[in-house]
A and B are shown apart, each in its own frame.
Chain A
């Protein structure tokens, strides 16, 4: 009895210290690979594992990585892809979300379940037939071909529907009395009310499509459309025999824009993933 009481008291005192140590250790382990990549990208080739302190840091790897592939075009393509996808998702999901939230149309429940099924029947799994479809539509090796399968996102429709449903109907009725049309109500009442949802969805969508790889790999065929992830995979391929330091530099280059954005907007990013993740 007494001995267990003593252990309990001692555990309570030691516990916060252990917690802090454990949390920090895990954090260190978790960022170590990334820190190592940054370190390797700044050391002369072959010196990445030389921690003796005599290593002279250099930006030479970044220059050779940058010169070895058309990165500017890759970045432009990723930017186009992310923008195209996001704008498309905003338009299509807004309209559909509004329909499912506020219109009592025939077959609504059934159609909505079909839409939700897409949360499980992922575009990634349908790569073979989606490739055939994109080719049939003449969109092979285009930004549109890369973005279109993701635009009618079941997730976006569901999120915006939830956001629109929480808007008080009185606001809509007031706007209608003022003479707003259906689309006017959507634009003046619902879209402004769902601003936080749009922001959260935008952050998650941009992060997802900036990082997407498999589908862009399949539907692109030329440097003029390839996004950075596909560019990086070609660059790092063992056949191309570039060394660790150069690959590190290229890797850091590819992740830098999102990482910097993440460091600046960490709170918003985490909030966005939270808001979007909870269904």
Chain B
């Protein structure tokens, strides 16, 4: 872009200059492709081809020894949608996203405001908020398992002091998904705090002084000045949280394995189970295609709606 730009316009009209410019441009093009090629090849192997083969596999029946896999159109999709587990899992994931996203965003904002305020031990507080982000999800799940263990766990030991009966937090459908959600919020809020912290540091302190002079209280200032100014950050965090609500399933392997009775099964965990526990590749593929469509819609939403002013070029 830099080296060859405008050389043909600026040069005096002449056959040889044009030829040089053309040669230059061709060389630029060649080098550009050569430099990008290694990454593009890997992206083709591990993103493009798998996407295409997923789509392909979703249109074929499961092959057996006696009946080879055959094209069956949308059959995998229709049987998937008629599986009651499908709706349970989709609903679980919607609830998981619907609760974790607003709560982790709200907590992240509170954390950022406190970690940005002049309070004693601010560095320690900031570190404490961020610590769960550095843990593997598996380790976080192990730690929380001791909290949820019925009777012997930390929560039941504390509630037991007040004479409350033990609760099988992870073992009963009414509480299991909520217990999983708590772990996710704990893990994510500190990560999102970072982005709010960065945004807060770009807001000039004059705004706060001005609104104080106008007689606006803390909450008016937060509602009228702070939150509107933080909107782009909130949009960014929201998109990240949305993607994470599809991606973050590691803790299920430790906490519930999707149970009891599918109460905590999320989409990606279900895909894993179909493919690697029940070896049902066609239905796993169909579910993957649906989730890819969803993520594609999120991408379009981000590029078209949210990024109108942020230019990627």
Q: Residues of A with Cβ closer than 8 Å to B?
A: 8, 11, 15-16, 19-20, 22-24, 26-28, 30-31, 33-34, 36-37, 40, 48-49, 91-93, 95-96, 98-106, 108-109, 111-112, 114-133, 137, 148-149, 151-152, 154, 157, 169, 172-173, 182, 207, 210-214, 217-218, 229, 232-233, 236, 244, 247-248, 250-251, 254-255, 258-259, 262-263, 266, 269-270, 273-274, 277-279
- Closest CB-CB distance, A9 to chain B, in whole Å? 11
Measured CB to CB, the closest approach of chain A to B38, in angstroms, equals 5
A214 cross-chain contacts in B, Cβ below 8 A = 249-250, 268, 272
Task: Report whether A121 and B47 are in contact in the complex, using a CB–CB cutoff of 8 Å.
Answer: yes
Report B-chain residues with C-beta under 8 Å of the C-beta of A263: 127
Known A115-B39, A244-B146, A278-B236; further 16 A-B contacts with Cβ < 8 A = A33-B140, A33-B143, A33-B144, A99-B33, A102-B1, A103-B28, A106-B33, A128-B275, A128-B285, A148-B46, A210-B136, A213-B138, A233-B253, A236-B254, A274-B195, A277-B195
**Which of B48, B130, B275 interacts with A127 by CB under 8 Å?**
B275
Asked whether B135 lies within 8 Å of A23 as measured between CB atoms, the reply is no
B134 touching A24, Cβ below 8 Å: no
- Using known A-B contacts A105-B32, A127-B271, A278-B198, determine if residue A49 contacts B131 with beta carbons closer than 8 Å: no
Q: Are A111 and B40 within 8 A (Cβ)?
A: yes
In the complex, whether B147 has a CB less than 8 A from a CB of chain A is yes
Given A19-B117, A30-B190, A33-B186, A229 contacting B138 (CB threshold 8 A): yes
| Residue pair A104, B29 in contact (C-beta under 8 Å) | yes
Within 8 A of A (CB), among B36-61: 36, 38-43, 45-51, 53-54, 57
Residue in A closest to B251 when the chains form the complex, CB atoms: A213
A157 proximity list for chain B (CB < 8 A): 39
CA A169 to CA B6, docked complex, whole Å = 15
Interface positions of B (Cβ within 8 A of A): 1-5, 25, 28-36, 38-43, 45-51, 53-54, 57, 107, 110-111, 114-115, 117, 119-121, 123-140, 142-147, 149, 152, 154, 157, 186, 189-191, 194-195, 197-198, 215, 217-218, 236, 243, 246-247, 249-250, 253-254, 268, 271-272, 275-276, 281, 284-285, 288, 291-292, 295-296, 298-299, 302-303, 310, 312-313
> Which A residue sits closest to B199, measured CB to CB?
A278
Contact of B57 with A37 in the complex, beta carbons under 8 Å:
no
CB neighbours of A117 from chain B (8 A): 296, 299
Contact at A129–B53, with CB atoms within 8 Å? yes
The docked-state distance in angstroms from the alpha carbon of A91 to that of B35 is 10
With known contacts A105-B33, A182-B31, A30–B128 Cβ distance under 8 A: yes
Measured between beta carbons, the chain A residues less than 8 angstroms from B215 are 8
Cβ B36 vs Cβ A95 within 8 A:
yes
Distance in Å from the Cβ of A32 to the closest Cβ of chain B? 9
Could you say which of B54, B190, B253 contacts A128, with CB atoms under 8 Å apart?
B54
Q: Which residues of A contact B43 (CB under 8 A)?
A: 114-115, 118, 152, 154
Contact A11 B218 (CB under 8 A): yes
In-complex Cβ contact of A96 among B3, B25, B40 (8 A): B40
Interface contact A152-B39, CB-CB below 8 Å: yes
The reply to whether B1 and A103 contact each other, CB–CB distance below 8 Å, is yes
Instruction: Output the nearest chain A residue to B190 by Cβ-Cβ distance.
Output: A30
Tell me whether B128 and A31 are in contact (CB under 8 A): yes
In the complex, residue of chain A having the shortest beta-carbon distance to the beta carbon of B267: A125
User: With A19-B117, A117-B299 in contact, do A129 and B50 touch (Cβ < 8 Å)?
Assistant: yes
Residues of A within 8 A of B302 (CB): 120
Closest Cβ neighbor of A247 among chain B residues: B142
- Cα A123 to Cα B34 in complex, Å, equals 24
Which residue of A48, A173, A207, A248 contacts B134 across the interface (Cβ within 8 Å)? A207
Least distance between A65 CB and chain B CB atoms (Å)? 12
How far is A127 from B50 in the complex, measured between Cα atoms in Å?
A: 9
State in angstroms the CA–CA spacing of A229 and B157 once bound together: 29
Closest-CB distance, B296 to chain A (whole angstroms) = 7
A115 to B40, CA, bound (A): 8
Q: How far is the CA of A98 from the CA of B35 in the complex (A)?
A: 7
In the complex, chain B residues whose CB is within 8 Å of the CB of A19: 114, 117, 119
Task: Tell whether, in the assembled complex, residue A99 and residue B32 are in contact, meaning their CB atoms are under 8 Å apart.
Answer: yes
A27-B128, A109-B313 are contacts. A122–B247 as well, Cβ < 8 Å?
yes
The distance in angstroms between the C-alpha atoms of A148 and B310, with both chains bound, is: 31
With A30-B129, A95-B36, A251-B143 already in contact, the answer to whether A16 and B119 are too (CB < 8 A) is: yes
Q: Which residues of A contact B51 (CB under 8 A)?
A: 121, 126, 129
A104 to B38, CA, bound (A): 18
Query: Is the CB–CB distance between A104 and B36 below 8 Å?
Result: no
Interfacial chain A residues near B128, Cβ < 8 Å: 27-28, 30-31
Q: How far is the CA of A16 from the CA of B122 in the complex (A)?
A: 13
- Bound-state CA distance A37–B2 (Å) is 55
- Could you tell me if A127 and B146 are in contact, using CB atoms closer than 8 angstroms? no
27 pairs from A and B in contact (CB 8 Å cutoff): A11-B217, A19-B114, A23-B114, A27-B124, A30-B189, A31-B128, A34-B143, A49-B154, A99-B32, A99-B33, A103-B31, A104-B4, A104-B28, A105-B36, A121-B296, A127-B271, A129-B49, A133-B46, A172-B3, A211-B136, A213-B138, A218-B272, A229-B138, A248-B142, A254-B139, A274-B194, A278-B236
Chain A: CB-nearest residue to B50: A129
